[in-house]
């Protein structure tokens, strides 16, 4: 059977979120490695798929999709799983938190990881930015932890949702990056419901498959280590 999708990925990038979703949905897909170190993100071929030069891109019969949150929502709607349908009473709740995770939490992480793109190379300015953004991220996580307590099955529940998959990867990166920085603002014990979610995910076949494909280690979410991928590089 011909794969339904083609995922343009780099190891331990946001494409990991889409990989997990595709596996959870039982969809056949092929992967195309994006050579970040070789400058593929700025190449004409990749820019035709995503003019912003970011990962991931998912090629579908309806064209190339980009933006992690949009891809997740499109997949869940198309295959009727991982998120409530348009007429489900929980739909609005999931949408507001999905957009918060995508537009606020993930966006702030990009600032934390790539400060030079936002404030320049001055170390003093970068230190100040790091302090401010890390404080914001800690607040974001506290609010999401509180939201998990009110969720009716779509966040940190027994069965994973697109919110769980997205958050798990973001929390992995919070624990790992940026290298060389103290990350004492991030303590998994501060968010026990989310910590339990991460532990449950590590037992799922989708995560085991992603571990092998991207070299994520045995505990990619609860006690992560830098990826050792069989091909490509995370940066």
Its pTM stands at: 0.96
**Alpha-helix runs per DSSP H in the chain:** 15-24, 44-49, 68-79, 91-100, 106-113, 116-119, 123-150, 162-176, 192-201, 205-214
In a domain, 180, yes or no: yes
Residues of the domain holding 99: 91-204
Percent of the chain with pLDDT over 70: 99
Res 152: pLDDT: 85
In a domain, 185, yes or no: yes
Eight-class DSSP state of 124: H
Q: How many domains does the chain have?
A: 1
In a domain, 49, yes or no: no
In a domain, 168, yes or no: yes
In a domain, 150, yes or no: yes
| CATH number of the domain bearing residue 102 | 1.20.1050
- φ, ψ for residue 10, nearest 5 deg: -130, 145
What distance, in Å, lies between the first and last C-alpha atoms of the chain? 33
How far is Cα 49 from Cα 18, in angstroms, rounded to an integer? 16
Task: Tell me the pLDDT tens digit for each residue of 59-114.
Answer: 999 999 999 999 999 999 999 999 999 999 999 999 999 999 999 999 999 999 99
Task: Tell me the pLDDT tens digit for each residue of 15-43.
Answer: 999 999 999 999 999 999 999 999 999 99
Task: Tell me the pLDDT tens digit for each residue of 151-169.
Answer: 889 999 999 999 999 999 9
In a domain, 145, yes or no: yes
In a domain, 2, yes or no: no
3-state helix, strand, coil in the chain (%, to 5): 55, 10, 40
In a domain, 82, yes or no: no
Res 217: pLDDT: 96
Contact status, residue 91 vs residue 37, Cβ threshold 8 Å: no
Higher per-residue confidence, 3 vs 72? 72
Q: Residue 60 pairs with which residues in a beta bridge?
A: 63
28: buried, middle or exposed (CB in 10 Å: 19+, 13-18, 0-12)? exposed
């Amino acid at each position: 059977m011909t794969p339904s999708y083609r995922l343009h990925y780099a190891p331990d990038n946001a494409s990991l979120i889409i990989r997990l979703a595709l596996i959870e949905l039982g969809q056949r897909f092929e992967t195309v490695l994006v050579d970040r170190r070789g400058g593929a993100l700025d190449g004409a071929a990749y820019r035709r798929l995503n003019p912003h030069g970011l990962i991931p891109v998912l090629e579908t019969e309806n064209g190339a999709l980009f933006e992690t949150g949009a891809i997740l929502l499109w997949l869940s709607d198309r295959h009727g799983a991982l998120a409530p349908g348009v007429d489900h009473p929980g739909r609005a709740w999931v949408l507001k938190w999905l957009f918060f995770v995508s537009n606020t939490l993930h966006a702030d992480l990009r600032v934390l990881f790539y400060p030079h793109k936002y404030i320049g190379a001055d170390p003093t300015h970068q230190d100040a930015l790091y302090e401010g953004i890390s404080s914001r991220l800690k607040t974001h996580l506290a609010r999401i932890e509180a939201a998990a307590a009110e969720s009716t099955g779509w966040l940190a529940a027994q069965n994973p949702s697109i919110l769980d998959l997205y958050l798990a990867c973001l929390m992995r990166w919070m624990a790992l990056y940026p290298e060389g920085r103290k990350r004492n603002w991030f303590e998994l014990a501060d968010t026990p419901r989310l910590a339990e979610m991460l532990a449950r995910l590590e037992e799922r076949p989708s995560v085991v498959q992603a571990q092998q494909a991207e070299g994520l280690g045995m505990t990619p979410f609860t006690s992560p280590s830098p990826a050792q991928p069989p091909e490509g590089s995370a940066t």
